[in-house]
Amino acid sequence: MDKNLLTQWLLASPTATIRYKTMLELLELPENHESVVAAYNEIQQSGAVPAILNQQVEIGKWKYPQHYYTPKFTSTHWSMVLLEELQCSPNEPRYQAACDFMLSITQKDIEKYKNTGFTCLWGNIIRYCLYGGWSDDSRLQLMIELTAESLQKGKCSCEWNWKMPCVWGAARSIWGLLLIPETKRSKLIEAALQTGFEFVLENANLIIQKKSSRFEKKTHQNWSKLSFPNFYHADILFILRLLKEFDQINHPQAPHLITWLKSKQKTNGHWQGSSPFRQRTYPEMGGPEETSRWITLQAVSILKKAGR
């Protein structure tokens, strides 16, 4: 498929975030370009972002107010995961209030139990709270330290993964820690990122080669799908997104993953996306074509970065 036609298809998306990211990542327009600014403003004013924000039942809280994790995937935690992906303005008061709520309600586990078995959760919270500008908050700093220690020392061992190191937990931990600017990363965080990447890349390569991993009793079917949104799980595309963000897309263990991704491209130039939780989250996220646009945008952006 002609690159121009592919770009036009992405720019024809009714999802403003897809158009916004296409202009920044593929067309390489500056953030102050008129079209980029217009798309960003549209993200805030129409579509999924205001629809999700308007579902708050109390300031900073979605249904149910004291159960941030349920119902999946529309309660407070999951709504915030989506809002960060969608590029909601981090200064939006309702977004800010939700960051504060999530840091407060999770502090009991963080402080008292030192629970390292839920870093898929902690990593996501770190991600959207750092995006919201809460980097100096002591509650978030404690969560970051706990997550980095879990990633570095135990590769995110989890009771839900038979107390074995968890590849999904490691991927989500990396997702959060990557938003810490390089100049503010401690030695622990840098070491955790390096250890984490080696761990997830080793296992991702085993998965695409259909080889057994001592950390995967049974390889989940979602690994081989191209999914968006990913809430707590990871797939090969998500691992490549992490590498791209870490500016390590040419890592020695990346080529097989990139080749695998390239092999999934359809004859029309698109990638077919999967949305395993579509019926359980916000309908404003769009139908199958929008999911495929999300996946195609991410895939092309990765391949572009890799020179492929």
* pTM exceeding 0.75: yes
Number of domains composing the chain: 1
Is 173 inside any structural domain?
Answer: no
Percentage of the chain exceeding pLDDT 70: 97
Residue-range definition of the domain harbouring residue 12: 1-46+220-308
Model confidence at 6, pLDDT cuts 50, 70, 90, reads very high
Q: Lowest mean pLDDT of 40-54, 113-127, 290-304, name the range.
A: 113-127
Instruction: Report yes or no on 224 lying in a domain.
Output: yes
Tens digit of pLDDT for each residue in 31-66?
999 999 999 999 999 999 999 999 999 999 999 998
Query: Region 156-169: what's the mean pLDDT?
Result: 85
**Low-confidence winner among 85-99, 108-122, 261-275 (lowest mean pLDDT):** 108-122
Q: Comparing 154 with 22, which gets the higher pLDDT?
A: 22
Res. 217: pLDDT tops 70? no
The more confident residue out of 154 and 74 is 74
**pLDDT at residue 148 greater than cutoff 90:** yes
- The pLDDT of residue 119 is 87
Please indicate, yes or no, if residue 1 is contained in any of the structural domains.
yes
Q: Residue 273 falls within a domain, yes or no?
A: yes
Residue 177 lies in a domain: no
Residue 285 lies in a domain: yes
Tokens of 295: 């996946």
Decide if pLDDT at 117 tops 70: no
Can you give the pLDDT at residue 113?
58
pLDDT in tens, 258-277: 999 999 999 999 999 999 99
For residue 112, what pLDDT is reported? 67
Q: What is the mean pLDDT of residues 222-233?
A: 94
Residue 291 lies in a domain: yes
The pLDDT-based confidence of 1 (bands split at 50, 70, 90) is: low
**105 assigned to some structural domain:** no
